[in-house]
Structure 1
Amino acid sequence: MGDENRTAAEATARHIEDLILEGSLRPGDPLLAERELALRLKVSRPTLRQGLKLLEQRGLLVAEAGGGRRVAPLATSFTDPLVALMASRAEVVEDYLELRATLEGMAAGLAARRASDLDRETLAGCMRRIEAAHDAADPHAEAEADVDLHVALYEASHNVVLLQIMRALSGMLRRGVFHNRDTLYARPEVREVLRRQHRAIHDGVMARDPLAASAAAEAHMRYTRQALAEIAAAEARLDVSLRRIEGGSLTPR
């Protein structure tokens, strides 16, 4: 590869890297076909291929069987076994929720200051989905809209480090790594509180009130932490009761 071609390929790769970093290209997003992508980026197809190859080598893009490419799945700095180990310890789940309370408050405050009109429209769309799922008594759809609203909040913060960290955490949340959202959304009284709390976060951002948005986000995470602890305690009591009935499964019945 000549110096001129290498420079053009590096510039192409850098442009795509910037889109990934700022969150415009998201983990798992498919790229356009080469022909259209080259036109969009205003580069030749050989230069595009060289730039894409650089990104594949850096682990930012993955090639697919049909010849397409997509943004690599989001990874974290943890190996899977370590994540599983962390998630199995109640004290780590507490630490996770404690961290999220601080970062969610920060994200909401920044979003109230920095959100663009498009960010606000995305946030409003997530809130409408939460309301619709709540009215339809669809806990799974409401839980999915919940995570999407928080991701929209991180994007609206326009802090790329915060965005990428919180995207990793939200990915773990979708997979139920630290706690199962269904345990929250299975309880109608909890779902109602969560809906009101999400509305308060949304309204604080829309009003461009950083203090209100931040306070609402932190209160939401404190409630989530408390609700999960109470649910876990209730389940533990139920387990004890069942073991008593069954004689600890060690006595003849």
Structure 2
Amino acid sequence: MFKAVKQNRAYQDVVEQIQDAIISGTLKPGSQLPAERELKESFGISRGTLREALRVLEQKGLIEIRTGVSGGSIVREVNSEQLSENLGLLIRNRTVSLRDLAEFRKGIEGGVAVLAAQRANEQDKAALRALLAEAEGYLKQGRRGWDAFIRTDEKLHMALASISANQLFISVLESVYLNIHTYYENFLPREKRVLQENFDDLSGIVAAVEAGDGERARELAQGHVDRFNAYMEEKGPR
């Protein structure tokens, strides 16, 4: 299954070979990697190099290292949840710059808007209109309705993701919206005009989705991200 590695990049080669075996299905979820001695001989590496590689694989969520008599390196199931967990940590700890977050969101949310416009049925459109009406109610409360408005805004974005019917988009955006509050709380001005502009953007996106105009929906979704990123960059780090 494995072959000797190049010594100048030994642990990286080990990581890549085991990772490829897991992703390809050669190593099944729940199975145990060969014993440490066997892995050392297969790769032609030291114990320290092997353990470094296994730690990296564990950090990636590809294996679980168990100790004790029945211990060993157990292969974990590869799914979008691991990606979401890692992305969530990056956002929650604000280790992603505002610019990088905006560029990432523009790509994801633009694509989601296009798919939503192509795939929305009448029930989906009614759900979007209901969320828009809910947001408008909180908008009328001014600053008192700020937090509730933001939560409804997130529900509307997630509704668009759900309509896209793309599980990766759904999983990634769930992670984004569960953790992006730390940026809003630190860098977004809590002013009614900001809520009004947010609402106007959402209204335009919903209208484009209802009309089946994917390119217009993409344009509005990406402009929405740009607008609010600009507000946060005025107050926060780049």
Aligned to 1:145: 152
User: Structure 2: which 5+ runs fail to align?
Assistant: 1-79
1:214 maps to 2:218: yes
How far off is 1:192 after superposition? 1.4
In 2, Cα distance between equivalents of 1:81 and 1:110 = 23
How far off is 1:126 after superposition? 1.1
Aligned to 1:198: 202
In 2, Cα distance between equivalents of 1:78 and 1:204 = 28
**In 2 relative to 1, CA 107–181 (structure 1 residues): closer, same or farther, beyond 3 Å?**
farther
In 1, Cα distance between equivalents of 2:231 and 2:119 = 31
Partner secondary structure for residue 83 of structure 2: coil
In 2, Cα distance between equivalents of 1:127 and 1:232 = 29
1:7-43 alpha-carbon deviations (Å, 9 max, x no partner): xxxxxxxxxxxxxxxxxxxxxxxxxxxxxxxxxxxxx
The 10-residue stretch of structure 1 (76-85 or 152-161) with the greater mean CA deviation from structure 2: 76-85
CA RMSD for the aligned pairs?
2.7
Aligned to 2:94: 88
1:113 maps to 2:118: yes
Return the structure number with greater relative CO, CA threshold 8 A, min gap 6: 2
TM-score, length-scaled by structure 1: 0.55
In 1, Cα distance between equivalents of 2:188 and 2:209 = 24
**In 2 relative to 1, CA 128–181 (structure 1 residues): closer, same or farther, beyond 3 Å?**
farther
Is the 8 Å Cα contact of residues 76 and 168 (structure 1) preserved in structure 2? Answer: no
How far off is 1:136 after superposition? 1.9
Aligned to 1:100: 105
The 10-residue stretch of structure 1 (119-128 or 141-150) with the greater mean CA deviation from structure 2: 119-128
Is the 8 Å Cα contact of residues 184 and 191 (structure 1) preserved in structure 2? Answer: no
TM-score, length-scaled by structure 2: 0.59
In 2, Cα distance between equivalents of 1:210 and 1:132 = 27
Identity of aligned residues (%): 21
Is the 8 Å Cα contact of residues 134 and 152 (structure 2) preserved in structure 1? Answer: yes
Partner secondary structure for residue 88 of structure 1: coil
In 1, Cα distance between equivalents of 2:146 and 2:189 = 5
**In 2 relative to 1, CA 82–172 (structure 1 residues): closer, same or farther, beyond 3 Å?**
closer
Is the 8 Å Cα contact of residues 87 and 176 (structure 2) preserved in structure 1? Answer: no
Aligned to 1:168: 175
Is the 8 Å Cα contact of residues 75 and 168 (structure 1) preserved in structure 2? Answer: no
Partner AA of 2:125 in structure 1? R
1:157 maps to 2:164: yes
User: Structure 1: which 5+ runs fail to align?
Assistant: 1-73, 234-253
Partner AA of 2:164 in structure 1? S
Aligned residues: 157
**In 2 relative to 1, CA 151–90 (structure 1 residues): closer, same or farther, beyond 3 Å?**
closer
Match of 1:130 among 129, 135, 157: 135
In 2, Cα distance between equivalents of 1:146 and 1:230 = 22
How far off is 1:124 after superposition? 1.2
Is the 8 Å Cα contact of residues 87 and 175 (structure 2) preserved in structure 1? Answer: no
1:182-212 alpha-carbon deviations (Å, 9 max, x no partner): 8536112211111111111111101111111
How far off is 1:108 after superposition? 0.6
In 2, Cα distance between equivalents of 1:82 and 1:155 = 19
